[in-house]
Amino acid sequence: MIVAIGTCLVLGYGGAPALGGELSAGVLIVFLMYLGKMYKPMRDLSKMADTVSKAMVGHERIQEVLDIESLVRDMPGARRAPAFQRQIEFDTVSFSYGGDKQILKDVSFKVEAGQVAGNRRSVRVGEDDIGA
């Protein structure tokens, strides 16, 4: 909006002298180009301010999540679990919540002591991976 108003003002004030021969058309065009070059940094600054404000809102949301205390607590007098020394093996494990739809079906994998395992969910149906 400001760019359009500024351009109209320059054309309004510079157009009459250019038509009257007091100002060449080239000078008017160069002045309009300089005006355009002046507006670009102003637009960039306004976009930067918007980006910074969105980043600050994102930071606040992340901080809120990090500040939440876990509801999981050890019971009073609980002993520490001993260090894991063997392996965990799932051999054709299936699971459902009581309905016909199985959540796990014939899942088999082995995790050795000291190994880290993770579950990767795919956006495609039936393409979950458990990796170690």
Give the tens place of pLDDT for each residue, 43-67. Answer: 888 888 889 999 999 999 999 988 8
> In this structure, what token pair is assigned to residue 13?
């004030």
| Encoded tokens for 120 | 């990767």
**Per-residue model confidence as pLDDT tens digits over 26-35:** 887 887 888 8
- Residue 123: pLDDT band (50, 70, 90) is low
pTM of the model: 0.36
Percent of the chain with pLDDT over 70: 89
Quick check: 8 and 15 in contact, CB under 8 A?
Answer: no
DSSP 76: T
Q: In this predicted structure, what is the pLDDT of residue 45?
A: 83
Of the chain, the end-to-end C-alpha distance in Å amounts to 57
Span 14-38, average pLDDT: 79
- Please report, as a single letter, which amino acid is at residue 30: V
Residue 40's SS3 state is helix
Contact (Cβ atoms closer than 8 angstroms) between residue 91 and residue 104: no
Residue 100 has pLDDT above 60, yes or no: yes
Task: Tell whether the torsion through CA atoms of 103, 73, 70 and 130 is positive or negative.
Answer: negative
Alpha helices for 2-129 (secondary structure H): 2-20, 25-67
Q: Per the structure block, which two tokens stand in for 49?
A: 């301010």
Considering only CA atoms, give the Rg of the chain: 34
